A = this chain, B = another copy of it.
Amino acid sequence: MANQNKEFVKEITPQSEDFSRWYIDVIRKADLMDYAPVRGCIVFKPDGYELWEACQRELDRRFKETGHRNAYFPLFIPESFFQKEKEHVEGFNPELPWVTEVGDEKLEERLAIRPTSETIIGHMYAQWIQSYRDLPVLINQWANVVRWEKRTLPFLRTSEFLWQEGHTAHATAKEAEEEQRRMLDVYTEFVETVLAIPVYQGEKTPSEKFAGAVCTFSLEAMMKDGKALQAATSHYMGQNFAKGFEITFLDRDNVLKHVYTTSWGLSTRILGALIMVHGDDRGLALPPRIAPIQVVIVPIGPQKDRERVLTHATNLLSQVRQAGVRVNMDAREDFSPGWKFNEYEMRGVPVRLEVGPRDMEKSQVVLVRRDTGDKEFVPEAQLQSRLSDLLDEIQKNMFVQAKQFQKENSHVVHSLSELVETLNTKRGFVLAGWCGDDACETAVKQECGATSRNIPFNPPEHLDTCVVCGKPAQHSVWFAKAY
């Protein structure tokens, strides 16, 4: 399927000129999405959806390896359910779409479209859990959810989005807290090693935690414009939802107790992070482990050699495919090699393999890396092992580059004026001391629009003094402008 939308984007706006424009240009030109005729909704086109499918495969395996099973709960949540956890209803109410009628009939009780499923899952768990023998319950759901956001941006913030939400119930606080941390680590491993995106692990401040949670952990990634993107969250609910929904169990000691619950989620907004962490002025750049196509073969050379080059390239294609590499060949005649080189660079394919008559004479091929642009000649006999190594090198290099960028753009500040100046003159995150008072957190936001991202588990420095009020700091906090 050729693509019309793409053609509107003649040139990608350089990142340095207008990062937001660059982002939209890239996702349109690479054909990842289209705007839908419903406010704030997008269509995930095949090239975009394929990236999400790859994320799903990787995460689903990890969830199952850690003992979770998938299930599916209803899209609709009765209005009364939202009243059962007070903070939860306040947090989500303004964003809820309501079904009020079916066909020509009014419903007796309005139904919300799920913004997240704690409530309906809590209702079911109350029926499923009776005894300590029923615990833990370890369930994940892949689903669409809806939050009617005011400002929307493709992938990053859309009215409807796709995600997974894990919901677990445990006999003790300790087990639930271990689960909360375990799943944050599962996300971290996936985001860092598969997506090559370095993150700061940490805890959200009370004002930024999930509505209804006791404690929220998050992964914060840094985009190339220095802004933060929350890549995943893992919540410890304590007994809040258990009490709201009466999820109780008879413990070994014969006492009826409320369970402890967690939930954790990662959504399609991660695709925005993937694009904004690795992309450049030439377009997308995909880490090999997530790239749907890892290698594209482009046969080159004059028309007279076309047939034998093609035969040879087709051979290489099946060799490389047999080695387990995701590879395609573009043998179209109506596009020049130069056009194809640009096209696959724009689409972020990690490696281009060129082969022409002169290469054939020398029994070699040309490999070109998307990440560095480096070109190398590889003897055909070594192609499989070299490709395998090269894909690993690219994966590692992309992480190292992103990590380097993260480090260079993470600043430690010691006063509010330094914080404001740093955020006004430099891109990135700032680490600042914080006394723990909401007012001081709000003050930072009012001064420069930066919000607290998280309280890192491993801060680069431990700061003594609150950056706003000068009282002793309880935490060192990452602040940044955020998506």
Contacts and interface: CB of A to CB of B under 8 A. Distances in A.
Contact of A94 (B1, B45, B49, B103): B103
Interface string A26-45: 00000000101110011111
A43 B72 contact: yes
Contacts of A135: 1
Given A2-B133, A120-B37, A74 B43 contact: yes
A446 to B, nearest CB: 25
Interface string A113-152: 1000000100110011111011111110001101010000
A102 interface: yes
Contact of A70 (B4, B53, B131, B134): B53
Interface string A148-169: 1000000000001010000000
A45 B71 contact: yes
A101 interface: yes
B148 A102 contact: yes
Contacts of A43: 71-74, 124
Interface residues of A, number: 65
Nearest to A100: B100
A341 interface: no
Given A2-B134, A131-B2, A148-B102, A46 B75 contact: no
Copies in the complex: 2
Nearest to A121: B43
Contacts of A136: 1
The residue among A37, A69, A104, A160 with the most chain B CB atoms within 10 A of its own CB is: A37
A464 B279 CA distance: 68
A97 interface: yes
Contact of A38 (B45, B74, B130, B146): B74
A457 to B, nearest CB: 31
Contacts of A101: 97-98, 100
A378 interface: no
A128 B1 contact: yes
A95 interface: yes
4 closest cross-chain pairs (CB), A and B: A46-B69, A44-B72, A41-B74, A94-B103
A70 B50 contact: yes
Given A2-B131, A37-B120, A99-B113, A50 B74 contact: no
A319 interface: no
A139 B46 contact: yes
